Amino acid sequence: MKIPVDLIEKYNVPVPRYTSYPPANFFEANFGTADYLKAVTESNSEQPENISIYIHIPFCTQLCLYCGCNTHITKDADLMRRYVDALIKEIQMIRPLLDKSRKVSQIHWGGGTPNAIPSSYIGEVMAVLNSEFEFIDKPEIAIECNPAALNKQYIDDLASFGFNRISMGVQDFREDVLKAVHREVPEIAIEELVHMIKSHQGMTVNLDFIYGLPFQTGESFAKTIARAIEIAPDRLVTFSYAHVPWVKKAQQKLEQYGLPSADEKVKMFETSWAQMKAAGYVPIGLDHYARPEDEMSKALQSRTLHRNFQGYCTRETTGQVYAFGVTGISQLENVYAQNSRTVSEYLEHIDKGETLVVKGYILTPTEKIIRQIINEIMCNQYLSWTKIGDRFNLQPEEVKNLLNFSNEKLNPFVADHLLEYNDDEIIIYDLGRFVLRNIAAVFDIHVGDPNRKFSKSV
Ligand SMILES: C[S@@+](CC[C@H](N)C(=O)[O-])C[C@H]1O[C@@H](n2cnc3c(N)ncnc32)[C@H](O)[C@@H]1O
Ligand code: SF4
């Protein structure tokens, strides 16, 4: 795929990332704990019936300067112990609100760095989940790890707790890049860690990379991806570095080195895309890749791929998401809700026997339709108005009227050879994936609000 330069300039404008709809900066502070607890109870009669559990471990031992995640930098072992006790208490507080008949289909440990805490703590939480919940036949149990803090024993422990996917943040193999962004260089080579993981039957590996960091060039990133392909992970992600120094102050420090230009970033994207495709991987959305036999690739083929804050998921594992831990975001059918902002606030409230939700959002019926449309665009690169209408018991024309949508809004994308449409369908071409966020924004009734700021799309 070759992306023309004029297209990059044209579409490199601030747009939401659409990891949720409406985006997280719409969450409101007047949505509180009582609203969340009520929503949890009501979620028992909503679809999907499956339960997805998100556990947030905010701890990292040092801050990577590019980081956009919710982290708490510490090496305080006592604090980590108290945090895990609080997590267990929080799970036990929410559990009675959920119908016993509902099963867990997905558990995702994210961060921060979940493997910054001792593996035995993870085992304790998993034991609680196992005793409190029933699981579907093949649940997806995944964890995000920093390879610098992984070793054989830790991996063996994760396998024994039932994990079937370990995602490692590699970011880049180049030591000068890692040093510039203040990131530890792993002592055990990624190749070796992957080998240790794959020695457990059923365990799969995802590797995360970022392009757009200081010192990276099209050529150097191509070498990074070539090495990644040799490692043959089951999945791989190439994140475009999101530079938002007005939110994440530490990112400003990267500006001293100069950041790769939008053109250079596009080169990195194009080359890695071509490399991954040539190696037999299926591109998912803009930045994820999976083996053709992976259930994610199969879901894309049948146009049934979904997405939540934790990433892409299939129909089998998609559940309403119940988040535990500081800053965790629950994603129920009608509601988003975010937990306490800081570790001390979180511990204080859990100690008092209450969970704390600091902000959230109740979706309107129209927003639920838009969320579904944006999901189809971002995940399946395809939309059928009839299918959307069927899902919400509406005629296709009624859906379009609700969004004030007319086909003319898509004509600029058609002129740029990014998509095609007919009376019922919108089909996005490979090149269109590069501007998926821009295409999704056409259906977003909130776009253009001058009070909201987003990162640029490239
Ligand atoms: C929670 S981290 C993964 C686990 C572990 N903390 C680590 O860094 O290895 C999630 C991923 O988000 C990506 N990420 C973090 N900050 C980002 C940013 N500003 N722009 C794009 N991707 C980012 C990184 O690739 C990172 O691996
Ligand atoms: S990238 Fe990962 S290890 Fe680095 S600060 Fe962010 S969450 Fe922590």
* Residue 344, token pair as written in the block: 């001390």
Same-domain pairing of 7 and 59: no
The domain boundary, picked from 343, 362, 381, lies at: 362
Q: Is the pLDDT of residue 294 over 80?
A: yes
Ligand 1 atom nearest to 169, measured from its CA: 9
Residues 314 and 378 in one domain: no
Please tell me the predicted confidence (pLDDT) of residue 295: 93
Task: Give the residue, by CA position, lying nearest to ligand 1 atom 27.
Answer: 169
pLDDT band for position 455 (50/70/90)? Answer: low
Answer yes or no: do 333 and 397 share one domain: no
Residues 171 and 197 in one domain: yes
Mean pLDDT over the full length of the chain: 94
Residue 457 has pLDDT above 80, yes or no: no
pLDDT attached to residue 4: 83
Which protein residues touch ligand 2 with a CB less than 6 Å away?
60, 63-64, 67, 69, 71, 111-113, 146, 169
**C-alpha 236 to ligand 1 mean position (Å):** 13
Tokens 């269109």, residue located: 432
Residue 401 is part of a domain; what is its CATH number? 1.10.10.920
Say whether both 98 and 51 belong to one domain. yes
369 and 309 within one domain: no
Supply the pLDDT for residue 428: 96
Predicted TM-score of the model (pTM): 0.94
Domain end marker among 305, 333, 362: 362
Ligand 1 centroid from CA 143, angstroms: 13
pLDDT in the model for residue 6: 84
Q: Worst-scoring range by mean pLDDT, 46-50, 80-84, 100-104, 312-316? A: 312-316
Mean pLDDT of 276-283: 97
Q: Are residues 426 and 445 in the same domain?
A: yes
- Which residue among 328, 345, 362 closes a domain? 362
What's the confidence (pLDDT) of residue 458? 57
**Mutate which of 56, 62, 65, 66 for ligand 1 pocket (most atoms within 8 A of beta carbon):** 66
Pair 137, 272 in one domain: yes
Residues in contact with ligand 1 by the CB-under-6-Å rule are 66-69, 110-111, 113, 144, 146, 169, 171, 208, 210, 239, 241-242
**Averaged pLDDT, 79-93:** 98
Boundaries of domain holding 310: 24-362
Q: Of the given ranges (2-16, 101-115, 442-456), which has the lowest mean pLDDT?
A: 442-456
Position 285 scores a pLDDT of 84
Count of Cβ atoms closer than 10 Å to residue 75 Cβ: 11
Out of 60, 170, 208, mutate this one to test ligand 1's pocket (max ligand atoms within 8 Å of CB): namely 208
Domain count of the fold of the chain: 2
Answer whether residue 448 shows pLDDT above 70. Answer: no
Report CA(113)–ligand 1 centroid distance (Å).
10
Q: Does 407 lie in the same domain as 350? A: no
Does residue 272 surpass a pLDDT of 90?
A: yes
pLDDT tens string 210-232: 999 999 999 999 999 999 999 99
- Are 125 and 236 in a shared domain? yes
Quick check: 276 pLDDT over 60? yes
Assess whether 265 and 377 both reside in one domain. no
The region of weakest confidence among 176-180, 313-317, 351-355 is 313-317
Domain CATH number, residue 194: 3.80.30.20
Claim to verify: residue 325 and residue 431 sit in the same structural domain: no
For residue 261, report the distance from its CA to the centre of ligand 1, in Å.
20
pLDDT tens sequence across 108-167? 999 999 999 999 999 999 999 999 999 999 999 999 999 999 999 999 999 999 999 999
> Omega of the bond prior to 214 within 30 degrees of 0, cis?
no
- Top mutation candidate among 207, 239, 457 for ligand 1, by most atoms within 8 Å of CB: 239
Average pLDDT over residues 268-286: 94
What are the backbone dihedrals phi and psi of residue 142, each rounded to the nearest 5 degrees, phi first?
-125, 155
pLDDT at 253: 97
pLDDT digits (tens, 9 = 90+) for 97-120: 999 999 999 999 999 999 999 999
